[in-house]
Amino acid sequence: MPRYALKIEYDGAPFAGWQRQADQPSVQGAVEAALAKLEANVPSIAAAGRTDAGVHGLGQVAHCEMAKDWDPFRLSEALNHHLKPDPVAILRAVRVADDFHARFSAVERQYLFRLVSRRAPVTHERGKVWQVQYPLELEPMQEAARHLLGRHDFTTFRASICQAASPIKTLDALDIEAVDIPEGREFRFHVRARSFLHNQVRSFVGTLERVGAGSWAPGDVKDALEACDRAACGPVCPPQGLYLARVGYPEDPFS
């Protein structure tokens, strides 16, 4: 059966997450329902990452197998037609080798987290950012983030329900930038690793926000990491500011 890789963008707000669920809407369910309009008995699709409820996708990757040899452009156009009105878009579809796997072939994932510091409520970005109403300092957060880089036991920043076999991961990048917005600032956290633990990025951001607010010193993040204790973590931030931005492969199927 011909195999296709799909690059997918979505607003996570209406969904209970990526993974198909019997009684709640999911992104996977929406895409599979659109595929079912094109062919009967399409196998389940597999994705590079199972984003949680409320988390958005800028460059999620999934693969599917079709009975018909579809032109990739026509496949993406047909899927986008049947995905309406769900806030899900197939940015590109490409034919890939039979051994390509959206999850297991991936060598890195990149996440973006958007945190807005502003007194006035957000309007246009509601549901797309995490907002706090007090000022944050960029430089202490950047200093604290450096303690998290490299290979560590990230038990402190791992959800209790995480199913990963090991808490040991390598964090390749955690870059923070600040952008001025009307009457406030937006802080963008760019996080990159081969793979992540459940709630790891949201645990990072929630902890670093405490540093930016002055409640924690940068060195406290190092102490929390070395404690290897979930109780040492700062508050886990809400999901609406988190985006799966990009998935990397040894050879980019979309290049």
Task: Indicate the pTM of the whole model.
Answer: 0.96
Report all structural domains of the chain as residue ranges with CATH numbers, in order of start.
3-105 (3.30.70.580), 108-246 (3.30.70.660)
CA distances from 135 to 125, 154, 236, 238 (A): 18, 28, 19, 18
pLDDT of 143 above 90: yes
Q: Are 49 and 95 spatial neighbours (Cβ–Cβ below 8 Å)?
A: no
Is position 69 annotated as part of the catalytic site? no
Q: What is the mean pLDDT of residues 222-237?
A: 97
Confidence at 57, pLDDT banded by 50, 70, 90: very high
Task: Provide the pLDDT for residue 1.
Answer: 86
Rounded CA gap, 14 and 240, in Å? 11
Rounded CA gap, 19 and 95, in Å? 23
pLDDT of 160 above 90: no
Task: Provide the pLDDT for residue 22.
Answer: 86
In which element (H, E) is residue 206 found?
helix 200-212
Q: Are 223 and 186 spatial neighbours (Cβ–Cβ below 8 Å)?
A: no
Q: What is the mean pLDDT of residues 186-212?
A: 97
Q: Which of 11, 23, 52, 220 is catalytic?
A: 52
